[in-house]
Amino acid sequence: MPDLDQYIQDSKAAIDQALMESLPPAGSSRVADAMRYSVEAGGKRLRPLLCLATAQVLGAEQKTVIDVACALEMVHTYSLMHDDLPAMDDSDLRRGKASCHAVFGEAMAILAGDALLTLAFEIISVYGQEEQQATKAVRIAYELAAAAGVKGMIGGQELDLLAEGKNLTLVEVEEIAARKTGALFSAAVRCGALAAGAGQSELEVLSNFAHLTGKAYQIVDDLLDSKATAAELGKPVSADLKKAKATLPALLGAEAAQARADQLYRQATKELQKLITDAGLLQLLAHRLIYRDK
Amino acid sequence: MPDLDQYIQDSKAAIDQALMESLPPAGSSRVADAMRYSVEAGGKRLRPLLCLATAQVLGAEQKTVIDVACALEMVHTYSLMHDDLPAMDDSDLRRGKASCHAVFGEAMAILAGDALLTLAFEIISVYGQEEQQATKAVRIAYELAAAAGVKGMIGGQELDLLAEGKNLTLVEVEEIAARKTGALFSAAVRCGALAAGAGQSELEVLSNFAHLTGKAYQIVDDLLDSKATAAELGKPVSADLKKAKATLPALLGAEAAQARADQLYRQATKELQKLITDAGLLQLLAHRLIYRDK
């Protein structure tokens, strides 16, 4: 197994290259430039990384999964672009850079988001036209659509919008996280598994792993956000706190939240041990996601 | 062949029922209600009708194509919802009813549009999981995505937004119409053909038919719009004219525009004669679309 840092670096480079090749050419239209801007704005490429790592653990070659990985990142990026819009979370910043609508205007940000969502499915349909891949493609498209739709991300964003300023219960906070973040997180692993030809039992184990890891990831994200707020003086409090959005650490306290993340990581690890193949890469990746400091 | 009026009435009833069954239940969420509101607001269901009629001409049973027809209507409806948004065409009315964002607010209209686009691909992916349908499904998904994407509807909407207040040439006007309306019109016929198992030569003939019919339909739409404006005193001038959007009738004059629509209809009819099967239903439908008075 390769060194994790090297693996992440190489995979990110492959993902970035494939993304840029899949997007409409720079300068071909304003929508194209808006799409490229938001995809290039980057981020950690966690979903495509999870997809590629899952496929690798199951023995698939990277080049047979890279398109699926790109589709996941496009769905993720579209959701950020639309969530940032003035009518939604009204955020002019995304990862320290101006958000898409702040640069290209609202109309172009709406259209470019729509275009990324559409392109994700176009890529999967092209992937499915390769020999013997149609059956995989329709299952992958289903995973993507279900994770992105009203039972997944869109429903989560709705709950999030409706929750502003309200006191949420722990159950409600977890429901929002499961739909906003967890659904596409799990889809990333499941799509990687499907592309690699996983059987039903492997798929179930990997789904459980993804579900547990996604929950832990969200808790750690909220923990880091709340710490950053306290530590970096002079910086406005985080967007979530400002809008009084409840998080699990805010409800349980930092210590209990961290304990919960630890427990979820241990459970996720246990799931991986049920696989016949060596899932060390996925375990290392989960560890990196959960025990990070930024 | 059945009476055309009866055919349209029966097919619309089947389409409406399938659409309502495919959408998330009323009252299940605000996004669900916004989706149902816009789909129920209706319209002529032209794209699903074209899809079903094409499949029928090729001998396929309606029940094997109805899901594909629904997906087309969902993509069409999502595009209207997003086009109507304040940041885009800023229209509070759609077919005489309040537009989605006027009723549910901008955030819900954005999300509900996203959800309809996503659901369209979910439906195709479920359709593709039926026995022997995966190969058809990936081709249908590709048609939908390509028609909806930057080379189709989204690109057309961008050009339309950028064209406001400018003097367009005939070529530019036709380019916008081809992408905004023509692309999904053609996809409707092609998806119906693919679902019915059309061969390459049938697909080409039907694509030509759809392309010609779509162009004529757009001209007639613009003609009716300009006539309505003159006739109905006291009503504000049409949205297109108010924003000084160029149309083919405005550039060529009503008489030349009608002559062009007539010619396109004759060409479309000629294409159909190349089919071995009886395409009388499609010819009647095209005639109805082009020689209508409202």
Per residue of chain B (294 residues), what is the pLDDT tens digit? Answer: 569 999 999 999 999 999 999 999 999 999 999 999 999 997 899 999 999 999 999 999 999 999 999 999 999 999 999 999 999 999 999 888 999 999 999 999 999 999 999 999 999 999 999 988 999 999 999 999 999 999 999 999 999 999 988 889 999 999 999 999 999 999 999 999 999 999 999 999 999 999 999 999 999 999 998 887 655 533 344 554 445 568 899 899 999 999 999 999 999 999 999 999 999 999 999 999 999 887
Selecting from A24, A113, A157 the residue whose C-beta is nearest the C-beta of B150 gives A24
Q: What is the chain A residue with the closest CA to B152?
A: A115
Q: Do B24 and A150 touch (CB under 8 A)?
A: yes
Residue of chain B nearest A137, judged by CA positions: B138
Q: Would you state the pLDDT for residue B131?
A: 82
Task: Tell me the DSSP string of A88-126.
Answer: TT--SEETTEE-HHHHH-HHHHHHHHHHHHHHHHHHHHH
Taking CA atoms, what residue in A is nearest to B123?
A142
Indicate yes or no: CB of B154 within 8 angstroms of CB of A125.
no
Kindly list the residues from chain B whose CB atom is less than 8 angstroms away from the CB atom of residue A137: 128, 134, 138
Token readout for A47 is: 């979903």
Asked whether residue A230 carries a pLDDT value surpassing 80, the answer given is no
Do A110 and B82 make contact, defined as CB atoms within 8 angstroms? yes
- Residue positions counted in chain A: 294
- B236 vs B242: CA distance, rounded Å: 9
Q: What is the structure's pLDDT at B235? A: 36
Q: Do A135 and B139 touch (CB under 8 A)?
A: no
Candidates A105, A137, A146; nearest CB to B122: A146
pLDDT computed for residue A205 by the predictor? 97
C-alpha B277/C-alpha A3 separation (Å) is: 62
B146: chain A residues, CB-CB within 8 Å:
122
Q: Which residues of A touch B70 (CB under 8 A)?
A: none
- Most B CBs within 10 Å, among A114, A131, A191, to test the B interface: A114
Collect all residues of chain B within an 8 Å Cβ-Cβ radius of residue A110: 82, 85, 87-88, 110
> What is the overall mean pLDDT for chain A?
92
B128: chain A residues, CB-CB within 8 Å: 134, 137-138, 141
> Between these two residues, B60 and A245, which has the higher pLDDT value?
B60
Does position A66 have pLDDT exceeding 50, yes or no?
A: yes
Size of interface A-B (CB pairs under 8 A): 151
Q: Beta strands of A133-289 (E only): which ranges?
A: none
Other C-beta atoms lying within 10 Å of the C-beta of residue A37: 20
Distance (Å) from the alpha carbon of A232 to chain B's nearest alpha carbon: 32
Q: Across the interface, which of B110, B119, B149 has its CB nearest the CB of A87?
A: B110
CA separation for the pair B13, B46 (Å, rounded): 13
For residue B164, report the phi and psi dihedrals to the nearest 5 degrees.
-55, 125
- How close does chain A come to B136, measured CA to CA in Å? 9
CA dihedral defined by A245, A247, A253, A259, rounded to 10 degrees?
A: -170
CB contact under 8 A, B145 and A121: yes
Is A187 strand, coil or helix? helix
pLDDT value of residue B233: 35
Tell me the nearest-neighbour CA distance from B66 into chain A, angstroms.
18
Residue among B32, B128, B149 minimizing CB distance to A138: B128
Residues of B in contact with A111 (CB under 8 A): 82, 154, 157-158
**Beta carbons of B110 and A85 less than 8 Å apart:** yes
Q: How many CB atoms lie within 10 A of CB B143?
A: 26
Three-state SS string across chain B, please?
A: CCCHHHHHHHHHHHHHHHHHHHCCCCCCCHHHHHHHHHHHCCCCCHHHHHHHHHHHHCCCCHHHCHHHHHHHHHHHHHHHHHHCCCCCCCCCEECCEECHHHHHCHHHHHHHHHHHHHHHHHHHHHHCCCCCCHHHHHHHHHHHHHHHCCCCHHHHHHHHHHHCCCCCCHHHHHHHHHHHHHHHHHHHHHHHHHHCCCCHHHHHHHHHHHHHHHHHHHHHHHHHHHHHHHHCCCCCCCHHHHCCCCCHHHHHCHHHHHHHHHHHHHHHHHHHCCCCCCCHHHHHHHHHHHCCCC
Q: In this predicted structure, what is the pLDDT of residue B241?
A: 47
Of A85, A114, A86, nearest to B155 by C-alpha is A114
Instruction: Give the per-residue pLDDT at A131.
Output: 82
| pLDDT tens per residue, range A78-118 | 999 999 999 999 999 988 899 999 999 999 999 999 999 99
Q: What is the reported pLDDT for A235?
A: 36
CB contacts of B161 in chain A (<8 Å) are 107
Percent of chain A scored above 70 by pLDDT? 94
pLDDT of residue A193 exceeding 90, the answer is yes
Distance from the A118 Cα atom to the nearest Cα atom in chain B, whole angstroms: 6
- pLDDT of A68 strictly over 50: yes
A111:B85 CB<8 A = no
Interface mutation vs chain B, best among A150, A158, A176, most B CBs within 10 Å: A150
Q: Which residues in chain A are contacts of B35 at CB distance < 8 A?
A: 150
- Cβ distance of A135 and B137 shorter than 8 Å: no
The pLDDT confidence band at residue A51, using thresholds 50, 70 and 90, is very high
Of B118, B124, B139, the CB nearest to A129: B139
More confident residue, A114 or A231: A114
Q: Say whether A138 and B137 touch across the interface (CB within 8 A).
A: yes
Which tokens belong to B130?
A: 């039926």
CB contact under 8 A, B145 and A119: yes
Q: Which CATH number does A4-290 carry?
A: 1.10.600.10
